[in-house]
Amino acid sequence: MELVEQDLGVGGAVTAALYIAPANATFTAAVASTQCCGGTDKSFPASGGLNPQVGAYASTGTGTWTVIKAFTATVSGGGTTDVWGTGLLQAATSGEIAEVLFTNKATLQTSDIITITWSAAIT
C-alpha cells in the first residue's frame, strides 16, 4: 500500500500523478479512458487560470494521500467559465490516472477561486 502511494504521490517506479486538470466541458467518465475527461480534445483549458497544474501532495496515513490545488479563474471580457469535473494526471496533458464529473458545474468569473482536492486510498 505504502509503495503505491509513494509511486503515485511522490514518484519512483512510475511518474507521480500530481497534475490536477479542471474540465471546462461536460464528459462521460470512462473506466478505460486514456484521455482526461472523456475525449481526445481533453476538455480542459490551456489558459484562463484553469490549465492543468501541479497540486500539493500530502500523505494522510498508510496508503492514503491527497493532492490539492487552488485555481484562480481569469476570464476575459467579464464573462464566465464553467468547471464540469476534473482529471488527475501524471503530466500536464497526459498520463491520466482518474477523472470525475461533478454533480453540479461550478460557474466562475474572473478572480473566483476553485480548490480541487483528490483523495486516494489503497487497501
Closest CA to 6 of 64, 45, 52: 64
What does the alpha-carbon distance between residue 91 and residue 12 come to, in Å, rounded to a whole number? Answer: 15
Closest CA to 28 of 19, 37, 41: 37
pLDDT tens sequence across 68-113: 999 999 887 778 888 888 888 888 877 777 778 788 889 999 999 9
Check residue 41 and give its pLDDT. 45
pLDDT tens sequence across 20-52: 888 877 666 655 555 555 444 456 666 788 888
- Edge to edge, the sheet with strand 113-121 lists 56-61, 64-72, 113-121
What does the alpha-carbon distance between residue 91 and residue 20 come to, in Å, rounded to a whole number? Answer: 9
